Every structure is written in C-alpha cells, then in structure tokens.
A = this chain, B = another copy of it.
C-alpha cells in the first residue's frame, strides 16, 4: 500500500468555481488533479494499491482510492469535476464521518493532523533538504507527504516531524508535486514495493 497526502492551500472549500479556470478561480486545482493522475493511473490501468489524499485548506479531506475508483480519466478537467462534486458533497459531512461522493472518491471534514493520526506505517516527507531517494529502503506501507504550489509552513513541518516523517529528496531540481509522485511511484515499482 502506498499513499500520497497533499496539502492544498488555495482550493476553495465551496463548489462555486469554474472548470475553465483551474489555476485561477479554482485555486490551482490543476496541480491536485495532476497529483491524482500521477498517484493512481498507469498507462491504461489503475494502481489499485495506491491512495491519494488531498487536504484542502485544513478543512476538507478528499480521498481517491485506487482499489475502488471508477471512471477516473487522466485529464485535469474531468478529475476537477470529481473534486468539485466531492466539495459539494462535503456539506452533508457531519463531524469526521466521510461521505461517499463518486465511486472511489470520498470526502470528510478534517485537517492535516487528523489525517496523520489515522496513518500507519512509514511517513516520508518529500523535501529538498532530505536524504537522497536511494536511502529509502523498501517497507510496507509507505505514505508520502507533499504540498501543492506552496511550501509546507512551519506549523506543518513541525507536525510532520512529530509524526516521525523522514525527509527524502528526489533529486537536485525542485519539482511539481505530481512530478514528485510519479518519481516516487517509479522508485517503488523498480525496488520491489509492488503489492498488487
């Protein structure tokens, strides 16, 4: 099992945004859509052992579960529609109980800390100051922590550290979150993490 938790800083917590302006009015939702694609999709197939968890403004938690996802297409716009539907369905979410939105997509109220509290196994924060990727030895399950176009703030850095996250660096270049997910997935694929 592999998980990717991504902090979304600017995605609205209400569904009144246009699919025609993902980088603007939708608060860089394009980044999160690409993260879902990178985390769950291979060529003509789904990574059934993978889960992508997006924490929106420390208020909403949207989960895309590879084991149960249906009709997930790789383009940004159709994934953005799934996000918007989940954000609308969040109005029915009471406390931390999740609401099923579309097949394989669920939403709940929650924040970074509540999500981390539910995670078992190894935590890895992808970070430019981390150890090189080859230092990451195979272990099951593994959860990667990432942020969207904005960096982790000090509070979130502290939280990740308190939960025992190890910092790993993917290479000399600063990458987009979805690119980081693609590289992490490929590293797991080629180093024996494959579990499905």
> Does A20 lie at the interface of the complex (its beta carbon under 8 Å from any beta carbon of B)?
yes
Of all chain B residues, the one with the shortest Cβ separation from A19 is B20
Contact among B31, B171, B186 for A189, CB-based, below 8 A: B171
Q: How long is the Cα–Cα vector from A194 to B173 in the complex, in angstroms?
A: 10
A85-93, A106-114, A175-183 - interface stretch: A175-183
Complex formed: what's the CA distance from A174 to B43 in Å?
A: 5
Once the chains bind, are A20 and B182 in contact (CB under 8 Å)? no
Contact in complex: B43, A175 (CB < 8 Å)? yes
Instruction: For A190, list chain B residues within 8 Å (CB).
Output: 133, 171-172
CA distance A66 to B73 in the complex (A): 28
User: What residues on B are CB-neighbors of A23 within 8 Å?
Assistant: 73-75, 78
Tell me whether A34 is interfacial, beta carbon within 8 Å: yes
Return the chain B residue nearest A44 by Cβ.
B174
A61 within 8 A of B: no
- Contacts A30-B74, A74-B30 hold; do A173 and B42 have CB atoms under 8 A apart? yes
Question: Is A168 at the interface (CB under 8 A from chain B)?
Answer: no
Check A7 for interface membership: any CB of B closer than 8 A: no
A6 within 8 A of B: no
A38 within 8 A of B: yes
Q: Which partner residue on chain B sits nearest A175 by CB separation?
A: B43
CA–CA, A80 to B176, complex, Å?
19
**Contact at A77–B76, with CB atoms within 8 Å?**
yes
Whether A75 contacts B30 by the Cβ 8 Å rule is yes
CB of B172 within 8 A of CB of A38, answer no
List of B residues within 8 angstroms of A20 by Cβ? 19-20, 77
- Judged by a CB distance under 8 angstroms, whether A45 is at the interface is yes
- What CA separation (Å) do A173 and B175 show in the bound complex? 22
16 residue pairs of the A-B complex, CB under 8 angstroms, read A19-B20, A22-B77, A23-B75, A30-B74, A30-B77, A34-B74, A37-B176, A38-B179, A75-B76, A76-B76, A76-B77, A171-B186, A171-B189, A171-B190, A173-B185, A173-B186
